[in-house]
Structure 1
């Protein structure tokens, strides 16, 4: 069986895979430009998901399984993958630790006025600027109650926060005091001091947050988006900040990435922007390959007990 990697791996990771599965043929490449020459004989493709389109899928006539070693599936030809009944899995959940830590660190950055303190340090100014606040005992609403959302809520509990979860189903989930379906989002937003979105990009979530949602929030609310940039239009978010409907927005994702140098989001004082880095971790590949190897064992053995199977029609 031919297993092709268009995702670059270290020699150490390559050796680990070939030693664990000595009967399989592994083809390791640094990118899809190099890898596409072998797509025709590939049965299993391991990719970051951004390099595989409909044209390449047509060439991969023997393909039975796509393992995406990221959580995002936005750029994959999901409809064609579904038509061919190709197994699609990803590494959902491995980002939960770094992304949850990111949320807490950014909330602390805003509430403790850390940007101003860092600027003072650069200028050698010994001065207290602004009144620091405490994130403890606030209320956090998390839109998206999967593995990442649950970890965010778990850490919030260390700060004695009330946690509200909003999801498609509204089912009860660990670490949340209350759970609601997306249909009730507007109803519960007024309770939140912090609103955190970890929602994926789907037809249902695209531009889900409107100006009406921001107007329903408290004027001191901090909005954090670590899910997908198309959750809210940039113009709407800028308007919400300028009209003081909310106090601050923290964006690790944007509608257009990389965010253009001249994009107006950069110029808004109460918006903090980071370059889609909340999930970055030195343990990223180790965690990704652990899921891949678990699934490969199931694939080879025919048990079909796969982890993180994607419903292609939903996109997650």
Structure 2
């Protein structure tokens, strides 16, 4: 146990909420901490040189290089791979994430994509612009089968909503858990079997060495021609060339994508042009109440950090 620390400097930067709101909330509970809230890294100035605590999303290697006194990074995202890949991240700097808060927003976006694809809603919007009254029967979610690859916090929330819509839910995960909303649990070895069965397939897995290109040509070609593919996990987990091919050849009905191999999605990506694809600009994790969703984690971790309980931080990333 380390003794209590005072006179700490905390920098908030590159967060996808209003940084001043976080600053006000944290200052009211931690008046002993000096806090700078910056929209971008350009506004940070020399404060970074004395920063011990950093609350941030994606940050540049240059910022880390200048942060000589940095002790702890609280990332406001679930995925910390971007920070881990920075050469100037020192081994002694603690890293924590905001894992566990994104279930509501990612699951709602998943449903937006599933419903919009099944009901051809992009076409409805286009027709509205052209004042065209055209009708067709929409594909229901009711009584359909959905496969969810990656049944963590987000996958479980998606499963619950699927059950509420009357769907049969297949969960695929290396760790089998008892979840009421999952009708059948499968291991990764049964992935192809599940893909052959389902009407909707939702990919929620993170980017790890094991998951890269986990969904390739073999997996996609196992899907039914009437099935839809949803990706709210990470772009690296899917072979994009293979996905583009099955979409072009209409081997599957369509795809709803929120994540890509390269972000922002390059202008020359075929995804923009394909009429059976919905391109969402990686907004699944964002919400209008994001600051209030992340604050409980930030506050509790700050309390523990200031007490010297360094290894008991919530969502501590061991490395």
**Among candidates 95, 102, 110, match of residue 109 of structure 2:** 102
Shift of 1:78: 4.8
CA distance in 2, matches of 1:75, 1:266: 25
Two-structure CA RMSD over aligned residues (Å): 2.1
When structure 1 is superposed on structure 2, of 104-113 and 216-225 the one drifting more is 104-113
**Among candidates 117, 122, 138, match of residue 132 of structure 1:** 138
Q: Deviations over 1:47-83 (max 9, x none)?
A: 11x2232x54343233221101122323213586886
Question: Is the Cα–Cα contact under 8 Å of residues 171 and 181 in structure 1 kept in the other structure?
Answer: no
Q: Does 1:76 align with 2:121?
A: no
Question: Is the Cα–Cα contact under 8 Å of residues 214 and 237 in structure 2 kept in the other structure?
Answer: yes
Q: Which residue of 2 aligns with 1:40?
A: 49
Question: Is the Cα–Cα contact under 8 Å of residues 91 and 291 in structure 1 kept in the other structure?
Answer: yes
Shift of 1:212: 0.3
When structure 1 is superposed on structure 2, of 176-185 and 8-17 the one drifting more is 8-17
| Helix, strand or coil at the partner of 2:255 | strand
**Among candidates 269, 286, 292, match of residue 263 of structure 1:** 269
Q: Which residue of 1 aligns with 2:301?
A: 295
| Helix, strand or coil at the partner of 1:84 | coil
CA distance in 1, matches of 2:180, 2:48: 42
**Among candidates 196, 199, 214, match of residue 202 of structure 2:** 196
Residue ranges of structure 2 left out of the alignment (5+ in a row): 1-7
**Among candidates 117, 124, 127, match of residue 120 of structure 1:** 127
Question: Is the Cα–Cα contact under 8 Å of residues 60 and 86 in structure 2 kept in the other structure?
Answer: no
Q: Deviations over 1:277-296 (max 9, x none)?
A: 22221101221222111111
Q: Which residue of 2 aligns with 1:309?
A: 316
**Among candidates 60, 65, 69, match of residue 52 of structure 1:** 60
CA distance in 2, matches of 1:257, 1:57: 22
Question: Is the Cα–Cα contact under 8 Å of residues 172 and 188 in structure 2 kept in the other structure?
Answer: yes
Q: Which residue of 1 aligns with 2:3?
A: none
CA distance in 1, matches of 2:85, 2:71: 14
CA distance in 2, matches of 1:152, 1:175: 9
| Helix, strand or coil at the partner of 1:163 | strand
Question: Is the Cα–Cα contact under 8 Å of residues 141 and 166 in structure 1 kept in the other structure?
Answer: yes
TM-score normalised by length of structure 2: 0.89
Question: Is the Cα–Cα contact under 8 Å of residues 23 and 36 in structure 2 kept in the other structure?
Answer: no
Residues 1:59 and 1:124: Cα distance change in structure 2 (over 3 Å): closer
Q: Which residue of 2 aligns with 1:27?
A: 36
Q: Which residue of 1 aligns with 2:215?
A: 209
**Among candidates 79, 85, 88, match of residue 95 of structure 2:** 88
CA distance in 2, matches of 1:122, 1:58: 50
Q: Which residue of 2 aligns with 1:235?
A: 241
Q: Deviations over 1:22-52 (max 9, x none)?
A: 112222222223326333322211111x223
Q: Which residue of 1 aligns with 2:5?
A: none
Q: Which residue of 2 aligns with 1:222?
A: 228
| Helix, strand or coil at the partner of 1:179 | strand
Shift of 1:174: 4.8
| Helix, strand or coil at the partner of 2:47 | helix
Q: Does 1:279 align with 2:285?
A: yes
Higher relative contact order (CA 8 A, sep 6+): 2
**Among candidates 172, 182, 192, match of residue 186 of structure 1:** 192
Between the two proteins, the alignment pairs up a number of residues equal to 309
Q: Deviations over 1:227-276 (max 9, x none)?
A: 11122132111111123331111111111111122321212111111111
